[in-house]
Amino acid sequence: MKTPKSFIREILKVTQRPEVISFAGGLPNPALIDTVGIGKAAEKVIREDGANVLQYSTTEGYLPLREFIADRYNKRYGLNVTPNEILITNGSQQSLDLLGKIFIDKGDAVLLERPGYLGAIQSFSLYEPEFFAVDLDDDGPDTKQLSQIIDQECPKLFYGIPNSQNPSGISYTTERRKEVAKVLNDADTVFIEDDAYGELKFTNEVLAPVKKYMPDYGVMTGSFSKIVAPGMRMGWVCAPEEVIDKVATAKQAADLHSNYLSQRIIAQYLADNDIDAKIANICAVYKERCDLMVKLMDELFPPTIKHTYPKGGMFVWLTLPKGMSSMKLFELAMEQNLAVLPGNPFYFDGGGDNTSRINFSNASPENIQKGIEILAKIFNEWKA
């Protein structure tokens, strides 16, 4: 594998210059972090139970927080999850690392989406699997391809992001979810369902997780980064108890337990606030930014430039005509202090040179306008 990480690190360093408009990162909008509410929760748990919230705690995590997570799955999607099927982690990235640790042996076949989430590629790579990938279309993974690869390679697991995928912004349709579940279930293949963006929805459509259709082999990862705050690094794994037992053993060796103060702060924050209203507010702002960006792309970009129409999340995915390089696009945009992320690093086996990931959650409407105008000008003046 090439080392996309260091390339992206370099890009993100460049884009931190204050004069740069950045569509390259994946940061939640800081104006939507409820610092007052979180501050109150922090003050309260330390004042009322300081010696406990600052002491060592259990590997599985704070029970009321695990209960909240289980309840929410059950209420939103009619799942049947118990708190014993939830383990608190330092965010989704650690969930992926721990799952890689327990599932992947060297040389195992591991199936990804194409394009696929870079953080998962990085985590899993440490355990030296052989990667395969299934193409995404607008409705989700190509299930014919999925069946073929599963028949041929017997992968240990399939990793995907059915809601507002990173990087493509695509959401699987309900029908496609059921098809994917059937294929995986029939082959006893684990699905690692990364649901970092499931709460960031721009429509009222309820899309139940794939796990609903394959409870025995469904493993979900979730995160408070996008709905409360990312700086506390709080996420979870939701899986059958025998999987959670193994994750707990790996977690204990990895760092004993997740930051207990932050678990207590988040649990207090969720108890004292209407989290649905907070999430609705985040979704309203992101939808407005997304709508503006997509509308400007439709108006200003030449018709040869294709883009996705996200139903949630934080990203739009651009596909340029074959032969048009998104690395060149990156360079031309940077000359005008606009940062966009080339899509190639999201293809573990190369390709995607004509794709680019565009973030809309962290730029103001003014900067979205400016940035898309810059891109439109570049596209309209493009010389092969």
Q: Which residues bind its own copies (CB under 8 A)?
A: 5, 27-28, 30-31, 33, 35-36, 38-39, 42-43, 46-47, 50-57, 89-91, 93-94, 97, 101, 119, 122-123, 125-126, 225, 229-233, 249-250, 252-262
In sign, the C-alpha dihedral spanning 247, 249, 252, 255 is negative
Residue 143 CB neighbours (<10 A): 17
Looking at the Cβ atoms of 16 and 380, the one nearer to its own copies is 16
For residue 34, the minimal CB distance to its own copies (Å) is 9
For residue 110, the minimal CB distance to its own copies (Å) is 15
For residue 339, the minimal CB distance to its own copies (Å) is 16
Looking at the Cβ atoms of 170 and 363, the one nearer to its own copies is 363
Q: Which helix (H) or strand (E) holds 268?
A: helix 260-272
Looking at the Cβ atoms of 253 and 271, the one nearer to its own copies is 253
For residue 55, the minimal CB distance to its own copies (Å) is 5
Looking at the Cβ atoms of 356 and 362, the one nearer to its own copies is 362
Looking at the Cβ atoms of 30 and 78, the one nearer to its own copies is 30
For residue 265, the minimal CB distance to its own copies (Å) is 8
Nearby residues of 142 by Cβ (< 8 Å), 6 or more positions away:
134, 135, 136
Looking at the Cβ atoms of 13 and 383, the one nearer to its own copies is 13
Q: Which residues of 217-231 are buried (b: 16+ CB within 10 A; e: fewer)?
A: bbbbbbbbbbbbbbe
Q: How far, in Å, CA of 29 to CA of 168, rounded?
A: 19
Looking at the Cβ atoms of 52 and 364, the one nearer to its own copies is 52
C-alpha Rg value of the chain to the nearest Å: 21
Looking at the Cβ atoms of 203 and 252, the one nearer to its own copies is 252
For residue 272, the minimal CB distance to its own copies (Å) is 15
Looking at the Cβ atoms of 127 and 379, the one nearer to its own copies is 127
For residue 301, the minimal CB distance to its own copies (Å) is 30
- Comparing CA positions, the residue from 63, 71, 160 lying closest to residue 111 is 160
Residue 366 CB neighbours (<10 A): 9
Residue 273 CB neighbours (<10 A): 16
Residue 244 contacts residue 85 (beta carbons within 8 Å):
yes
Q: Where are the alpha helices (DSSP H) in the chain?
A: 4-14, 35-53, 63-77, 91-103, 118-125, 143-153, 174-186, 241-255, 260-272, 275-300, 326-335, 365-380
**In whole angstroms, how far apart are CA 276 and each of 43, 76, 197, 267, 361?**
23, 11, 15, 15, 19
For residue 50, the minimal CB distance to its own copies (Å) is 3
Phi, psi of 144 (to 5 degrees): -65, -50
Strand partners for 191: 158, 218
Could you say which DSSP state residue 236 is in?
E
Q: How far, in Å, CA of 312 to CA of 274, rounded?
A: 21
For residue 178, the minimal CB distance to its own copies (Å) is 33
